[in-house]
Amino acid sequence: MSLSMKPARPCTLPTATTHTTSHAQHLSIRCCTLTEPAVRPLKLSIEDQPFNTWDPLTPFLFNSKSVRLGNRWMDYQGIQNWEGLLDPLDDNLRAEILRYGSFVEAAYRSFNFDSSSPAYGACRYPKSTLLDRSGLYQTGYRLSRHLRATSGIRLPSWAEMAPSWVATKSTWIGYVAVCQDKEEIARLGRRDVVIALRGTATGLEWLENFRATLSPLPNAPSKPTHDDSEPMVETGFLSLYTSGTDEEPSLQEMVREEMARLLQTYGDEPLSITITGHSLGAALATLTAYDIKTTFKRSPMVTVMSFGGPRVGNRSFRCQLEKQGTKVLRIVNSDDLITKMPGFVLEEEAEVSKDRNVYVAGLPNWIQKRVEDTQWVYAEVGRELRLRSRSCPYLKSLNVATCHDLKTYLHLVNYS
């Protein structure tokens, strides 16, 4: 029996095709549900732009240079877990969230989504021009390394004959960029290293997303710290982070190698590492932060800013993140189903007994115990900035794809 299969569409991920004219640079952004032209933004008020013509990089271009963080930069990186900055959302923090979200948007625009191209899954631009050509101008950052992720799924032999969107195991997933501009370093109060990661794009990445059971973390502490359980994370995310081939090192190896080089180069000055991603990229950002803090004992402050990320690990994994001082700010859309996956979350009762058992209202104790013993019990990590598509008058469509789109997230942050 033959099966007719269509190429997998990216998870609300924009692509870009650049056409240069004498007047402006035009980008064609293609999403699961949205296809629209975006012109390099002029200096107009972003409040005057409806959603269907709004460029997610516009707030970055307008606001990023106006915020001088100086000595307060650690507050905005989460040293106090963003206390007093989330409700209402602090304007300086809003600008920083949009700025880091724009780096993720640039990763999407730089990815080759054309499955008919021999360069499918590669980066469309060289390091020297990626930010400019994807719409991020004069950031003060310079790319230092491209990053790739490899699926650990073993394909049958017939897969070699399958289309590239099915069989491609290793693809470009993001980049590392370092702030090099002296004025920008002074404005930020430190030199900043950004790791930006895109979301799901290939068939194998989709399959990894569905491997939703929990697996033990390599190099985890020998003595579990919470309820005698070991730190565990989603199997597919761990596979994408740690898998490599004879030709391609793993994402983990690339990150460790680049961080070792950057820490040796800039370790004697004020430094921050900010890891940002959307969807799958948000999950990998959390794993990357954990790995950096585990590998480099004297690492600088590490912060994750994630957009529309799924759950990543269990409560012991969350405890390890907190113990090592990793700061995670999860930007969540209440109408986005992806943020409610995978698995279950069992909240701890406010007044619990000494054994601190988790509970689910209405479930008998023996069922709760059975659920706890499965590999499907996850825990949310870090602090949450919760937004809602339905509260934004500019959003006309509330389907699953639009609610998960990075463009929607940046729009909600901008107007919240």
**CA pair distance 62, 221, nearest whole angstrom:** 45
**CA pair distance 377, 392, nearest whole angstrom:** 32
Backbone angles phi, psi at 4, to 5 degrees: -95, 115
Q: Do 253 and 148 meet the contact criterion of CB atoms below 8 Å apart? A: no
Give the neighbor-by-neighbor strand order of the sheet with 327-333. 141-150, 170-179, 191-197, 271-278, 301-307, 327-333, 383-387
Is residue 28 annotated as part of the catalytic site, yes or no? no
Of 279, 299, 306, 389, catalytic: 279
Q: At what angle do helices 251-266 and 280-295 cross, to 10 degrees?
A: 50
- Spell out a b/e string for 281-298, using b for 16 or more CB atoms within 10 Å of the CB, else e: bbbbbbbbbbbbbbebee
Q: In DSSP terms, which residues pair with 306 in a beta bridge?
A: 277, 330
Of 55, 110, 146, 404, catalytic: 404
For residue 144, count CB atoms less than 10 angstroms from its CB and return exposed for 0-12, middle for 13-18, buried for 19 or more. Answer: middle
Of 55, 192, 336, 405, catalytic: 336
Helices (H) then strands (E): counts for the chain: 14, 14
Parallel, antiparallel or unpaired: strands 271-278 and 191-197: parallel
**CA pair distance 24, 12, nearest whole angstrom:** 26
- Spell out a b/e string for 173-192, using b for 16 or more CB atoms within 10 Å of the CB, else e: bbbbbbbeeeebbebbbbbb
DSSP state letter for 330: E
DSSP annotation string for 205-225: HHHHHT--SEEEPTT--SS--
Q: What is the dihedral of CA 60, 62, 65, 70, to 10 degrees?
A: -70
Is residue 2 annotated as part of the catalytic site, yes or no? no
Is residue 268 annotated as part of the catalytic site, yes or no? no
Backbone angles phi, psi at 185, to 5 degrees: -60, -40
Taking every pair of C-alpha atoms in the chain, what is the biggest distance, in angstroms? 71
For residue 238, count CB atoms less than 10 angstroms from its CB and return exposed for 0-12, middle for 13-18, buried for 19 or more. Answer: buried
Per the rule left: phi > 0, alpha: psi between -120 and 50, beta: everything else, 82 is left
- Which of 282, 274, 238, 237 shows the shortest CA–CA distance to 404? 282
Q: Which residues are catalytic?
A: 279, 336, 404
